[in-house]
Amino acid sequence: MQEIRFHGRGGQGAVTSAELIAIAAINKGKFAQAFPSFGPERRGAPVVAFCRVDDRKILIRAKVYRPDVVIVLDSGLLELLDPTEGMHDGGVLILNTKKKASDVVNVAGRNIRVATVDANTIAHEELGRVIVNTTMLGAFVKATGLLGIDDIKGPLLDRFGAKLGARNLKALERAFQEVTIV
């Protein structure tokens, strides 16, 4: 089973990203679940979302405590939390930052792979807004290999419609090309 944890802020699309991964996995014949963890927070408050993907039925209904993948949509959250908490050795930490992955590895201080992408710039240039959820999915696809771009494409276009979906797909593809991984 692959367990994924997203850290973002309200309005950035962490919950939507988790749902898109789950839908794409289900469409591939896998079992998946996606769910958020937040209270009555306002837009901009820290939010955590979770996703699980497996070849077998998933019976767990708890939040993800030992993630294989952690995706951080807002690098400002790194001052508030340790994104590597509970991560499996060999896991993947995917960060939205201008830094290259090789510059972040020592910060993580764990036996994990690090992937970085400047999702803010990509989203601003491709979408006209700094909403990075679909952009970060491009980095996720490249860093994990769990799904392919074609797997995400259908659910993304269904969620956002033809015009906005095409722009989000372009941002996703660009992040896939620009992500650095160590």
The CATH number linked to 125 is 3.40.920.10
pLDDT at position 41 is 59
CA gap 126, 59 in Å, rounded: 39
pLDDT at position 39 is 62
CA gap 6, 17 in Å, rounded: 8
CA gap 176, 135 in Å, rounded: 8
Mean pLDDT of 17-28: 97
CA gap 135, 25 in Å, rounded: 18
- Residue 61: pLDDT band (50, 70, 90) is confident
Q: Which residue has the higher pLDDT, 40 or 161?
A: 161
Q: Measured between alpha carbons, how far apart are the two ends of the chain, in Å?
A: 23
Least confident of 20-24, 45-49, 124-128: 45-49
Domain tally, the chain = 1
3-class state of residue 97 by DSSP: coil
pLDDT at position 74 is 93
3-class state of residue 110 by DSSP: coil
Mean pLDDT of 11-23: 94
Contact partners, residue 157, CB within 8 Å, separation at least 6:
165, 166, 169
Task: Read off the pLDDT of residues 77-128 as tens digits, 9 standing for 90 and up.
Answer: 888 888 889 998 889 999 999 988 877 766 555 688 999 999 999 999 999 9
- Residue 164: pLDDT band (50, 70, 90) is very high
Least confident of 38-42, 87-91, 165-169: 38-42
Owning domain of residue 10: 2-181
Contact partners, residue 51, CB within 8 Å, separation at least 6:
3, 4, 6, 18, 19, 21, 22, 32, 33, 34, 64
